[in-house]
Amino acid sequence: MPELLYEGKAKKVWTTSDPEQVEMEFKDDATAFNGQKRGTILDKGVVNAKLTAVLFAVLEREGIRTHLVRQLDDRRLLVDRLEMLALEIVARNIVAGSLAQRTGLAEGTVLKAPIVEIYYKNDALGDPLLNDEHVAVLELASPERLADLKERARAINRILSAFWAEMGILLVDFKLEFGLRRGELVLGDEITPDTCRLWDAKTRARLDKDRFRRDLGQVEEAYQEVLRRVMGHAAL
Ligand code: TMP
């Protein structure tokens, strides 16, 4: 019988008969602002499971190692069990969210070159931004591993920016989590409208979790629209 290993804000992780693999189940629950705001986005779990399966398959094709094994059903993916790093790697192409708040740059300003930021995955501290020296002091990654993480985030950003552009979507920013599979660094977690900012390229309409965070309405519709564009794309 599968055992619940972990329940997060948006996913449950279950054991399987293979100790090296787990199942990720995507929930409709949504939280924002470190859990202070809570709600439900109908069928978000179905959209996010499918999008993660598609995007991780795209990345694998481009030579990025991920934890994805295969999609099991509407809401569940079979993935390799990873020893997760306590880091969130954010890549940004356009100013939004906390970058706008931290720097005073106007939301929507296109960055001259993408930037990568490192956050400490620690709910009690509210996932603070770290610099390289903080990462070293906390022993969260060696300098070599940190450089590797940043380079992978940049490579993933190049691949996914091109992918979303074909869907008429701007990849504004996104968050990645990595882990170790028998000592090898591998991309884990998810890539979804929960963890990316996706703007319509023509209208700049928000097609992501900011609709929930900022009470913009039409939250479900935005998730379905993103899935519709991806599934309707001929190259898949
Ligand atoms: P931020 O502008 O709030 O720092 O968010 C940057 C990106 O990271 C954005 O695409 C949303 C994503 N993100 C998460 O996936 N989880 C989080 O807890 C936060 C704060 C952001």
The residues, any chain, with a CB within 8 Å of residue 22's CB and separated by 6 or more, are 5, 13, 14, 15, 16, 78, 79, 80, 81
Which atom of ligand 1 is the closest one to the Cα of 195? 15
Given a contact cutoff of 8 angstroms between Cβ atoms, the answer to whether 89 and 106 are in contact is no
- Record the tokens describing residue 225, joined without a space: 């629209």
> With a 6 A CB cut-off, is 90 part of the ligand 1 pocket?
yes
Q: What is the pLDDT of residues 122-180, one digit of tens each?
A: 999 999 999 999 999 999 999 999 999 999 999 999 999 999 999 999 999 999 999 99
CATH 3.30.470.20 domain locations along the chain? 83-218
**pLDDT grade, residue 228 (50/70/90)?**
very high
> With a 6 A CB cut-off, is 189 part of the ligand 1 pocket?
no
Question: Distance, CA 231 to ligand 1 centroid (Å)?
Answer: 25
Q: Domain 83-218: state its class.
A: alpha beta
Rounded to an integer, what distance in angstroms lies between the CA atom of residue 38 and that of residue 32?
7
- Record the tokens describing residue 123, joined without a space: 């709910």
| The pLDDT value given to residue 233 | 85
> With a 6 A CB cut-off, is 66 part of the ligand 1 pocket?
no
The three-state secondary structure class of 41 is coil
Rounded to an integer, what distance in angstroms lies between the CA atom of residue 164 and that of residue 157?
10
> With a 6 A CB cut-off, is 175 part of the ligand 1 pocket?
yes
CATH 3.30.200.20 domain locations along the chain? 4-80
Q: Domain 4-80: state its class.
A: alpha beta
Q: What angle do CA 75, 212, 230 make, to 5 degrees?
A: 50
Rounded to an integer, what distance in angstroms lies between the CA atom of residue 43 and that of residue 61?
28
Given a contact cutoff of 8 angstroms between Cβ atoms, the answer to whether 226 and 51 are in contact is yes
Given a contact cutoff of 8 angstroms between Cβ atoms, the answer to whether 156 and 138 are in contact is no
Helices (H), the chain: 44-61, 97-103, 132-137, 143-166, 210-213, 219-231
What is the DSSP secondary-structure string of 194-219?
Answer: TTEEEEETTT--B-STHHHHTT-S-H
Q: Which residues pair with 171 in a beta bridge?
A: 198
In eight-state DSSP terms, residue 192 is: S
Q: How far is CA 203 from CA 96, 221, 226, in A?
A: 16, 16, 14
Q: What is the pLDDT of residues 94-103, one digit of tens each?
A: 999 999 999 9
- Classify burial at 156, counting beta carbons within 10 Å of its beta carbon; exposed 0-12, middle 13-18, buried 19 or more: buried
Residue written as token pair 């449950």: 12
pLDDT at 234 over 80: no
- Record the tokens describing residue 126, joined without a space: 């509210």
Question: Distance, CA 195 to ligand 1 centroid (Å)?
Answer: 6
pTM for the full predicted model: 0.97
Q: What is the pLDDT of residues 172-202, one digit of tens each?
A: 999 999 999 999 999 999 999 999 999 999 9
